[in-house]
Amino acid sequence: MNEKDFVDALKQMRDSSRERKFEQSIELIVNLKGIDFKKSQNQIDEKVSLPFSTGKSSGKTIIFVKDKEFASQLEGKTDKIMMESEIPSISKKDAQNLAIEYDLLLAEGPVMVAVGKHLGQILAPKGKMPKPISKNIDEVERMLKTAGTTTRITNKKGKFMPIIQVVVGKESMADEQIAKNAIAIYNSVLSAVPSKHNIKSVIVKTTMGSPVKLGGIKGESK
């Protein structure tokens, strides 16, 4: 698969897509075959850095902190700072809202214990457990800079299934940008499966549009 393959499919997708009253996301679907997903080594669940933001997430970040001096250094660099002492009083509903509102969650190393104890049951199933960080502002700034272009690819849909489905852009983006994001996802999937022969088909589609197979053949609705 190369950029031209994706651009051609995206153009066909746009030609066949009806105009909606909202901006649709562009999805990439990779159907897999010949893999036993009961085996843990075949289960796909990883983060991928994309060339361009997909426009899907809000990009909002929260950092859980213990050290007050470190917290003062973080002022203005993140959307929310929460001290370790505040964590035990977070209700289940508030924890669920945190998982929805924030796309990137970070925690100073020593705070991970409190987060796991009080919020783990809510955050972990949603893949929102914070990434541990050290008291290093430069490290934090690097992570914040890449947050908007990082996405998760997984074939866990309640249980591990032979399909990867992920947003790679939105309608207002140039086809070339979406294509580059799609290639990054496709290459990550390719490296995660035993062989390219385990990829049954690759499809692009708008949120509510008809799927289009790479190569110009329409796929079946998902």
Give the pLDDT confidence score for residue 208 in this predicted structure.
Answer: 92
Q: How far is CA 155 from each of CA 44, 51, 76, 113, 221, rounded to the nearest angstrom? A: 6, 22, 36, 29, 18
Per-residue pLDDT of the chain (222 residues; tens, 9 = 90+): 889 999 999 999 999 988 898 889 999 999 999 999 888 888 888 888 888 888 665 568 899 999 999 999 999 989 899 999 999 999 999 999 998 888 789 999 999 999 999 999 999 988 789 999 999 999 888 888 766 677 888 887 667 889 999 999 999 999 999 999 999 999 999 999 999 999 999 999 999 999 999 974 444 333
Give the pLDDT confidence score for residue 99 in this predicted structure.
Answer: 87
Give the pLDDT confidence score for residue 69 in this predicted structure.
Answer: 95
Q: What is the pTM of this model?
A: 0.63
Say which amino acid occupies 52: F
**What whole-number distance in Å separates Cα of residue 94 and Cα of residue 71?**
21
Closest CA to 95 of 72, 127, 64, 118: 118
**What whole-number distance in Å separates Cα of residue 65 and Cα of residue 86?**
10
Query: Parallel, antiparallel, or unpaired: how do β-strands 104-108 and 61-65 relate?
Result: parallel
Give the pLDDT confidence score for residue 95 in this predicted structure.
Answer: 94
Sign of the Cα torsion 171, 174, 176, 181 reads negative
Give the pLDDT confidence score for residue 220 in this predicted structure.
Answer: 38
All structural domains of the chain: 3-44+155-213 (3.30.190.20), 61-148 (3.40.50.790)
